């Protein structure tokens, strides 16, 4: 069997287009654009690339982005002061503080200073709690939300399926498990202490790998016909000297021989993350303005 390749780029383009339409409706209804504030502390090149792509995506969806680039030696108090101003700014619907922060800052304290209703990354403990108790006001972390979108587009109703999520981070693994539970999957969360992970993975109708270990999940770990979602983004040495390439946490070619459908890396989950950031921002804007939830999002 050769698995269907799930096209995350196409799915992300659809979500971005829907977010753009909702942003246009918001502007027509309120007389102002949806606003996203992005905050970058220091000069980490990967973070600069991420922030630039997020701002470009915002512009394409006719949302306004306000960018704050702060020097690496900014004090935590100054950053908290900026977050407080953004919380109070009516033109700002979403606040994104790019992680990682410099080591002299406590990232949890900074994230928890963001107004949960503007926390479009969905990392605030209030949003984690809302997700856990099934409160629809939750803003959900973008990457697992994107994974769920791909799974529902592929499989429709997920209820009763056994989902194995490998990884228990607050950003991906745990919220992914909560989302799948809310869809009435039977969910198993695996991690570095899990015993006989290959056998456990082989029981999964839905296998989500969010580990950060290049190509760890092998074809033999996959149940025939399963749907495999590869969240991993790992840069490894390429075939030519000094060249690198991106691989996921799943060994794609082996897994694709067994799975029913699988996301590639790149071009699978990755593009969904920014699309879901736009989705969360436009949804946050609608909620804050008392407008009904935008359609299709």
Active-site residue set: 54, 98, 121
Beta strands in the chain (DSSP E): 4-5, 35-41, 64-70, 94-97, 162-166, 186-190, 206-209, 227-230, 234-237, 244-247, 261-262
Distant-in-sequence, close-in-space partners of 32: CB < 8 Å, separation ≥ 6 = 91
The reply to whether 143 sits near ligand NDP by the rule CB under 6 A is yes
The reply to whether 269 sits near ligand NDP by the rule CB under 6 A is yes
The reply to whether 128 sits near ligand NDP by the rule CB under 6 A is no
In the complex, the smallest distance separating the C-beta of residue 288 from ligand NDP, rounded to whole angstroms, is: 26
Choose between 74 and 249: whose C-beta lies nearer to ligand NDP. Answer: 249
The reply to whether 273 sits near ligand NDP by the rule CB under 6 A is yes
Is 53 in contact with 24 (CB distance < 8 Å)?
no
Distant-in-sequence, close-in-space partners of 45: CB < 8 Å, separation ≥ 6 = none
The reply to whether 231 sits near ligand NDP by the rule CB under 6 A is yes
Distances (CA, A) of 85 to 82, 91, 95, 99: 5, 11, 11, 19
The reply to whether 116 sits near ligand NDP by the rule CB under 6 A is no
Choose between 82 and 110: whose C-beta lies nearer to ligand NDP. Answer: 110
In the complex, the smallest distance separating the C-beta of residue 159 from ligand NDP, rounded to whole angstroms, is: 25
The reply to whether 47 sits near ligand NDP by the rule CB under 6 A is no
- Residue from 120, 211, 258, 262 in contact with ligand NDP (CB under 6 A): 211
Binding mask 235-254 for ligand NDP (x = CB under 6 A): --------------x-----
The one-character DSSP state at 139 is P
Residues 219, 66: Cα–Cα separation, whole Å: 45
Stretch that binds ligand NDP, among 90-98, 99-107, 128-136, 210-218 (CB under 6 A): 210-218
In the complex, the smallest distance separating the C-beta of residue 10 from ligand NDP, rounded to whole angstroms, is: 16
End-to-end CA distance of the chain: 33
Residues 187, 113: Cα–Cα separation, whole Å: 31
Angle at 87 between CA 172 and CA 55, to 5 degrees: 60
The reply to whether 213 sits near ligand NDP by the rule CB under 6 A is yes
Choose between 82 and 209: whose C-beta lies nearer to ligand NDP. Answer: 209
- Residue from 30, 47, 188, 234 in contact with ligand NDP (CB under 6 A): 234
User: What SS3 state is found at 172?
Assistant: coil
Stretch that binds ligand NDP, among 18-26, 98-106, 164-172, 179-187 (CB under 6 A): 164-172
Choose between 33 and 122: whose C-beta lies nearer to ligand NDP. Answer: 122
Separation of CA 54 from chain center: 12
The H-or-E segment that residue 241 falls in is: none
Pairing of strands 244-247, 234-237: antiparallel
Site residues (vs ligand NDP, CB under 6 A):
143, 166-169, 171-173, 190-194, 197, 210-213, 231-234, 249, 269-270, 273
């Amino acid at each position: 069997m050769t698995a269907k390749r799930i096209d995350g780029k196409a799915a992300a383009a659809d979500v971005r287009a829907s977010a753009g339409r909702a942003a246009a409706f918001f502007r027509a209804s309120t007389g102002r654009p949806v606003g996203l504030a992005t905050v970058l502390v220091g000069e980490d090149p990967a973070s600069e690339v991420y922030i630039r792509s997020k701002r470009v995506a915002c512009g394409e969806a006719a949302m306004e982005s306000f960018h704050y680039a702060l020097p690496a030696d900014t004090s935590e108090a100054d950053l908290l002061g900026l977050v407080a101003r953004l919380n109070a700014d009516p033109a700002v619907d979403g606040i994104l503080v790019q992680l990682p922060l410099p080591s002299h800052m406590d990232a949890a304290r900074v994230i928890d200073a963001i107004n949960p209703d503007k926390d479009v990354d969905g990392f605030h403990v209030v949003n984690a709690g809302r997700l856990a108790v099934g409160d629809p006001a939750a803003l959900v972390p973008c990457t697992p939300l994107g994974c769920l979108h791909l799974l529902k587009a592929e499989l429709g109703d997920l209820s009763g399926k056994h989902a194995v999520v490998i990884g228990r981070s607050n950003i991906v693994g745990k919220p992914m498990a909560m989302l799948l539970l809310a869809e009435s999957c039977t969910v198993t969360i695996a991690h570095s202490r899990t015993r006989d992970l290959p056998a456990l993975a082989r029981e999964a109708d839905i296998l989500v790998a969010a580990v950060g270990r290049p190509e760890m999940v092998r074809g033999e770990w996959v149940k025939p016909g399963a749907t495999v979602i590869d969240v991993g983004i790992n840069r490894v040495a390429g075939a030519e000297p000094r060249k690198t390439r991106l691989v996921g946490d799943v060994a794609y070619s082996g897994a694709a021989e067994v799975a029913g459908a699988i996301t590639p890396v790149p071009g699978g989950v990755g593009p969904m993350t920014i699309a879901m950031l736009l989705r969360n921002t436009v949804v946050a804007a609608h909620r804050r303005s008392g407008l009904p939830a935008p359609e299709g999002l």
